[in-house]
Amino acid sequence: MKVRIDYDLCMGDRNCNKVCPEVFEYDEDQMISRVLVDEVPEHLEKLVLKAADECAPKAIVIEE
């Protein structure tokens, strides 16, 4: 599974970073989250899906 953030939609509320910090880093200066991994490790897939589900503006794009 691959994941990316649509920066036209991200509002920088940091929820994805709180849900799965192993995959989503928060940039304090830019006030946006970044994806840290190219391929999501299998044991983190559920958390990434949860983060995507909880992302209010639907900025987290899952690419399988």
Minimum distance from CB of 45 to ligand SF4 (Å)? 17
Distance, in Å, from the CA atom of 17 to the CA atom of 51, rounded to the nearest integer, reads: 8
Phi and psi at residue 5, in whole multiples of 5°? -110, 130
In the region spanning residues 33 to 62, those forming contacts with ligand SF4, defined by CB under 6 A, are: 33, 55, 57, 59-60
CB closer to ligand SF4, 7 vs 41: 7
Q: Is 23 near ligand SF4 (CB under 6 A)?
A: no
Ranges assigned E (strand) in the chain: 2-5, 24-27, 32-35, 60-63
- Which residues are near ligand SF4 by CB under 6 A? 5, 10-16, 33, 55, 57, 59-60
